[in-house]
Structure 1
């Protein structure tokens, strides 16, 4: 058996942890970045009458892979395809599209367990879909509005119990251009209706009820196993969005309420996911509010949970029922 790990070769902590655990167990592992194709990787695969699968594989700079050796795939964060720099303009765009379609089409046709298959990630990595599916799965969600109508946005915030809402980007990891550089939009500070401008009409905006949380929870699901880490913020910025100030955070391992566990497992089933990271806000009365689903989210930043999650992921890749 060979576990194929598809991700960048550098700076991917979760993939590093999984590869290390696979090596520790003596499980053959092949780490590859699709960005290496076509410049540093030679690919050849055939299919014809009487064949149910593509036969072949690739030759890399240091290691080769045969498709029929692959028994599981761990899909993390591959880099973008790089083509010959001599190609420019439309030629480069065409070559890049063909390389991406050829490589990903062949790899995604492998009939083996994926954690997760990219098509499942794409479907699940949508805030509107995730919030609706979470509500249908029995999870509590905050009141949420998506609109480009300034009047609707003001009416929505005015109708909330605390008359406060936050703005969140809708697209996953949506960076924007700021003075020629790239920046990421975080959750906004709490907003009142009077603070909104008519510029809301420019595009879709997501406004969500402000929850006066005690703390946040990063819940990581691996198969049926659930790992919950409380994230406690100790700065004003971190209390709005913990990603703003990691230095002001402390972590605790916490138990998952049974109703939340049922809802999470139902949500995993809806999207056919084997792995997911979910974010919850724990309100003043201890109630858990689901706010986000990331089917390919990080897990290594909560130290006490890094190894248990890694071991469960490798159990899954080895074919164990988890």
Structure 2
């Protein structure tokens, strides 16, 4: 098998237009792609892997239309798979089957020889812990807004009284469906009077509201950096995309160095960073999503992000 014959695995759910765009670009380049969702297993996805002596995994993965040799995979684009499901089994058998699939098939997929991961599933898991991300951001040299993570109501009230304008946002967002459509839990401003004993029920994240002139989304793809200013006038720009104006900007050198340090800490090759831009021009770190969206910004800005991601996947471990 030649370099050109080595496939790229794309692991995501069925409804992922961002993955569709990348797959189309790879197809136009003649790069073979095997796309699947972990929820396809075992109905339409099978895997057989062996190891022994020297070398890595041997064997293959197969869908109804395509097959990939495990030792030949050049890269994996790990996006947003739906997860394993064995709902036809009773609860105890389902737990057993999910565990075997996760640690069996999942374990093989996370240890492929010679494979570039964008990003590695385990590294994504590490980086999705918001407290870990904030700590890594501080160590990397970013400026962070004062932040409190707590389940103590009195501490939450004291934090709000100290900083006056404070926002609440979820530490992690589970899937919420409203009329069959996934919804994002928005960032909201909160007052001390709104804090009650229900805060004691779980952990909450409170953060001083940044007096911002705009938001900035920076997508780092391998060695390339694509920074876009988002003017919306909204506290949470994700709540209404129809209000946005997008402008490509250059990330300051200090921010670029901090982003590189952050990604190196988590061993990521892709990251979608969010910043609040103050009226004085300071970039305030908000978060980094290791599986963040980016494709919707390409048409209004002309930034070649699809090509950059396809370059990364096509090249595999070359130069890494």
TM-score (normalizing by structure 2): 0.90
Q: Superposition pairs for residues 22-171 of structure 1, below 5 Å?
A: 22-48=26-52, 50-83=53-86, 85=88, 87-111=89-113, 112-160=115-163, 163-171=164-172
Residues 100-135 of structure 1, C-alpha deviations (whole Å, 9 max, x = no match): 322111111102111110111011111111111111
Distance 1:206 1:178 in 2: 24
Distance 2:214 2:221 in 1: 23
Check whether the contact 2:36–2:45 (CA below 8 A) recurs between aligned residues: no
Q: Superposition pairs for residues 249-264 of structure 1, below 5 Å?
A: 249-264=244-259
- Give 3-state SS (helix, strand or coil) of 2:296's partner: coil
- Give 3-state SS (helix, strand or coil) of 1:65's partner: strand
Residues 41-82 of structure 1, C-alpha deviations (whole Å, 9 max, x = no match): 23222222x132121112321112211221111111112223
Distance 2:66 2:157 in 1: 58
Distance 1:175 1:36 in 2: 19
Equivalent of 1:316 in 305, 309, 312: 312
Residues 251-294 of structure 1, C-alpha deviations (whole Å, 9 max, x = no match): 11111112111111111111111001011000121111101110
Counterpart of 1:229? 228
Counterpart of 1:269? 264
Deviation at 1:96, TM superposition (A): 2.5
Q: Superposition pairs for residues 230-249 of structure 1, below 5 Å?
A: 230-234=229-233, 239-249=234-244
Counterpart of 2:290? 295
Distance 1:203 1:95 in 2: 30
Unaligned runs of 5+ in 1: none
- Give 3-state SS (helix, strand or coil) of 2:39's partner: helix
Deviation at 1:313, TM superposition (A): 1.3
- Give 3-state SS (helix, strand or coil) of 1:44's partner: strand
Deviation at 1:187, TM superposition (A): 0.7
Counterpart of 1:206? 205
Counterpart of 2:11? 6
Unaligned runs of 5+ in 2: 1-5
Check whether the contact 1:216–1:281 (CA below 8 A) recurs between aligned residues: yes
Check whether the contact 1:299–1:306 (CA below 8 A) recurs between aligned residues: no
Distance 1:314 1:183 in 2: 29
Check whether the contact 2:216–2:230 (CA below 8 A) recurs between aligned residues: yes
Distance 2:103 2:16 in 1: 24
The verdict on how the C-alpha distance between 1:182 and 1:251 changes in structure 2, with shifts beyond 3 A counting, is closer
Distance 1:117 1:123 in 2: 10
Counterpart of 2:273? 278
- Give 3-state SS (helix, strand or coil) of 2:186's partner: coil
Q: Superposition pairs for residues 164-183 of structure 1, below 5 Å?
A: 164-171=165-172, 173-175=173-175
TM-score (normalizing by structure 1): 0.90
Distance 2:71 2:267 in 1: 24
Alignment RMSD (CA, Å): 2.3
- Give 3-state SS (helix, strand or coil) of 2:268's partner: coil
Counterpart of 2:3? none
